[in-house]
Structure 1
Amino acid sequence: MERRRGRERHGRGVRGPLAWPPVPAMQTRRQRFDDLVLDAAERVRPHLGTRYAETEFAVEEVPPVDPAPWEEQAAPLGRLLRGTSARPHRVVVYRRPVELQAQDDQELADIVREVVTEQVAALLGVPPHEIDPTVDPEY
């Protein structure tokens, strides 16, 4: 019987997998940021109830170039886009401005949680600390 030599050179056995199994260290910054937003969204979902159950959470790299006249001229960290009958409400977190504010991974997670909480509180018309008691009321 003839032995195939293609991938088993020098008698070392068959090579391992071409790609490693996915592990957290292999995630990109973008993927880790998306996970932080998803975690924050899951924390506030119980407060949305059935009326706002269809609220979407999204991540964008940077805010639009031209902020609305009533918005701050500094780069916002997030935005609430109120829905219509055709589309649901959407909470948007801007990745680059949030990353620039954070000094480390823990602070990044805290800022994301605060931004999501603040936008959901604006949607519901309540103070942010009613949604998440750990959020600074002065935020």
Structure 2
Amino acid sequence: MSRVRRSAASTPAPVQRGRGRDRHGRGVRSSATGPYLPPLQTRSDTFDMTVVSTVDYLRSVWPDQLSDVTFEVAAGPASVLAGIGVERWAVNAAERRVVFYRLPIQRLTRLHRNDDLHRRMVIESCVFRAIAELLGKDPWDLAPDRFRHF
């Protein structure tokens, strides 16, 4: 079977598009901040803001018990505890100090829905549990009126 050859005059000329455009003509897509600027808010910034806002709330509820407590955020613990695993926080009652470990809280927690709200809820629950451990209370007793909506 022979093929039909077309002459160069019958083929259409290629469409000239400007530089920086993709094949659909929409243009190159980039982040809102551009390629040379850092992101507006990083995961560590979000973690720090969540810890600070939760601690501020609990300090307003328990001002006498939490006024002299120091709260810190570290990347991770120095060692893994045998039989327990990786700690999410460390409470030192003698020094009145609580250290939250960002990477274990963010990466080792399994979420049923991985979105901003659920990530924030995990961080807040860790703050509540660590402060409850420091005060010797149940986490649900730290802010009882917060959960009563009627």
State the Cα distance separating 1:58 from its structure 2 match.
1.1
d(CA) in 1 for partners of 2:104, 2:94: 24
State the Cα distance separating 1:51 from its structure 2 match.
4.2
d(CA) in 2 for partners of 1:66, 1:74: 6
State the Cα distance separating 1:117 from its structure 2 match.
0.8
**Aligned pair partner of 1:116 in 127, 131, 137:** 127
Return the letter of the residue paired with 2:140: H
Where does 1:59-98 land on structure 2 (aligned, <5 Å)? 59-67=73-81, 73-84=84-95, 89-98=96-105
Unaligned runs of at least 5 residues, structure 2:
1-32
Aligned Cα root-mean-square deviation (Å): 2.5
Question: What's the TM-score, normalizing by structure 2?
Answer: 0.60
Return the letter of the residue paired with 1:122: E
d(CA) in 1 for partners of 2:122, 2:65: 26
d(CA) in 2 for partners of 1:125, 1:47: 16
d(CA) in 2 for partners of 1:115, 1:108: 11
Which structure: larger Rg?
2
Return the letter of the residue paired with 2:64: T
4+ residue runs over 2 A deviation: 46-52, 132-135
Question: What's the TM-score, normalizing by structure 1?
Answer: 0.64
Tell me what 2:59 maps to.
45
Identity of aligned residues (%): 24
Aligned pair count reads 106
Deviates more, 1:28-37 or 1:42-51: 42-51
Deviations 1:18-75 (A, max 9, x none): x99xxxx6122211111111011012113433243111111111112143x7xx5211
State the Cα distance separating 1:80 from its structure 2 match.
1.0
